[in-house]
Amino acid sequence: MTTETLGFRHRFEPGSNAALPPLLLLHGTGGDENDLLPLGQAVAPGAALLSPRGQVLEHGMPRFFRRLAEGVFDEEDLRRQTDALADFVLAAREAYQLPAPVALGFSNGANIAAAVLLQRPGVLRGAALLRPMVPFQSPPPAKLEGTPVLVLSGAADPIVPAENSARLSRLLEQAGADVTHRVLPGGHGLTQMDLGLVKSWLAAL
């Protein structure tokens, strides 16, 4: 079901297994609300899926927040869009009668998922961040005690320097999150190894 309500154009797929946490699917640059549905279905069969479309356009491509250049974020817009996404999640939980979701974000979607963790702790039950970067130059202080976070980086990623994803993992750990960080062979694109690791991580929650 695709709908324009709750502030974001989004798709919601009801789950068949209420014991599984819902997944908040957050696409990369140029994606939309349909992009990650197959990934969500593959890594968490039976989970409810909530998949919004980013509201910012870059040369016609949807994103979740503006950037000034590759790897340089418009942090004022990032903070505003992070609040908008967090508010959407809370509204969707009420509308669809959902518990707190686990975010599954790729690239730009992973970055805003990390931003929600740091700026609006408690909105997400946890997050699987695929090819993320540190979202904030000066991160807000967050208390994430025990929040599970999976960070998957690509050893040959031309977009995200290895140091950046390692710094994000440390930042989340310092806030109290339970972080698992794996560096995988390959670049910025996703592989079957990503799918297997995400599925195993979700199953252990």
Asked whether 151 and 126 are in contact (CB, 8 A), the reply is: no
pTM: 0.97
Instruction: Tell me if residue 10 is catalytic.
Output: no
DSSP state of 69: E
From 35, 51, 107, 165, active-site residue: 107
> Which domains are assigned to the chain?
2-203 (3.40.50.1820)
Q: Which residues are CB-neighbours of 121 under 8 A, at least 6 positions away?
A: 142, 143, 144, 147, 175
Instruction: Tell me if residue 107 is catalytic.
Output: yes
Instruction: Tell me if residue 51 is catalytic.
Output: no
From 27, 35, 51, 157, active-site residue: 157
Whether residue 1 is predicted with pLDDT greater than 90 in this model: the reply is no
What rounded mean pLDDT belongs to the chain? 96
pLDDT in tens, 125-180: 999 999 999 999 999 999 999 999 999 999 999 999 999 999 999 999 999 999 99
Could you tell me where the DSSP H helices lie in the chain? Answer: 37-43, 75-96, 108-119, 162-174, 192-203
